[in-house]
Amino acid sequence: MLATNDYNAYRFHQQVDSALSKIETILDTTRNPTYAEEKDHTYNDKFGLAEFLTNTAMAAQANALERLGMGNEIFQKLHSISAKDERSVTLRFISEESCDFVKEQTVDVESKHEFITETEEVKTTESEKEEKTKTTSRHKVVTKVKEYHWKVTVNYSLFAFPGNDPESGKIVLQSREASTVIVTTGGKQSPRPSKFINDPIDVSLTWLLQNISDQDSFNCNFSIDREATSCRTPRQNEEIFAAIAFFNKMTDWSYKIRNYMDRVASLTYTGGASPFVEPESHV
């Protein structure tokens, strides 16, 4: 669910057309799904469509969180914290990096250029004939270079916590430590800080948990209060505003983590950490 200024009608129609073509292979021939604008419907149907699509987006988000480690048991705990204890729930991503010196070694580095020397020798045979022979020698310049090996380690953790204390009741979804060795030349200068703790990346899950019922296997239960004075249209109402705000924040949270992972991955490529860095192994 995107904000109005992010809406792309052409892309939306492409996605719907793709979905319709797949649905046709699943449903029987008596059912023909199409765009809402192409079917007769009442104004209340627009509210129902807004609720249905929001619940669908919520289910997709819940599936994504499950892939990140929020299984059924963890979800039940978080839902209980939100619904019964009436406390907020935050999803947090933390990470830190370290760079430690491993060793120094001297290696022979061959030049990319090759020098060729040709020698011609003339011999006179017994019959007083001259025979010419050529000898070709190939040479390369070998330079001794000092290499400095550094172990770069990355730790990250994804966890949820209630209230405003990250260490109180923390529930870990996943964590990992990975490392790579990078090689520098040109001096024993660390290519990375010895230790660096990144700012945490947070997003609130409270709205999502509040709109999932603990009845009937935790079904998505988003609805629009059509009687509220603030409800003007299926699009202009407080419930939809809150839904869009949540999904936009989830999108922003995801982009920040993806950008961080891209930056970490760049450490294994020349230029990712220092002009004189080469990877020895990948994370």
- Specify the amino acid at residue 2: L
CA dist 160 and 170 (Å) reads 6
Terminal Cα distance for the chain, rounded:
34
Question: Beta strands 89-124 and 277-279: pairing type?
Answer: unpaired
C-alpha distances in Å from residue 189, one per residue of 82, 99, 143, 149, 275:
50, 11, 21, 11, 12
Both tokens of 231, joined, read 């409800």
Residue 226: is its pLDDT beyond 70? Answer: yes
Question: Domain coordinates of the chain in residue numbers?
Answer: 57-105+147-279
Q: Are 91 and 123 in contact (CB under 8 A)?
A: no
Which candidate, 222, 220, 225, places its Cα nearest to that of 237?
225
How much is the pTM?
A: 0.76
For residues 271-279, average pLDDT: 41
Angle at 139 between CA 134 and CA 144, to 5 degrees: 165
What's the pLDDT tens digit per position in 159-168? 999 999 999 8
* Cross-strand pairs, 117: 137
Residue 276: is its pLDDT beyond 70? Answer: no
What phi, psi does 148 have (nearest 5°)? -120, 120
Which candidate, 201, 242, 229, places its Cα nearest to that of 90?
201
Whole-number pLDDT of residue 268: 62
Note the Cα 39 to chain centre separation in Å.
39
pLDDT top residue among 128 and 47: 47
Whole-number pLDDT of residue 7: 64
CA dist 153 and 109 (Å) reads 28
Whole-number pLDDT of residue 283: 31
CA dist 141 and 65 (Å) reads 57
Q: Find the helix or strand (DSSP H, E) in which 49 lies.
A: helix 43-67
Q: Are 208 and 61 in contact (CB under 8 A)?
A: yes
Residue 194 DSSP class: S
- Residue 34 banded pLDDT, cuts 50, 70, 90: confident
Whole-number pLDDT of residue 279: 42
What's the pLDDT tens digit per position in 59-89? 999 999 999 999 999 999 999 999 888 999 9
Residue 3: is its pLDDT beyond 60? Answer: no
Both tokens of 191, joined, read 């290519």
Which candidate, 130, 138, 85, 72, places its Cα nearest to that of 111?
138
- Outline where DSSP puts E strands in the chain: 89-124, 130-162, 171-184, 195-197, 201-204, 277-279
List, in order, residues 6 or more apart from 66 with CB less than 8 Å away: 75
Rg (CA), the chain: 32
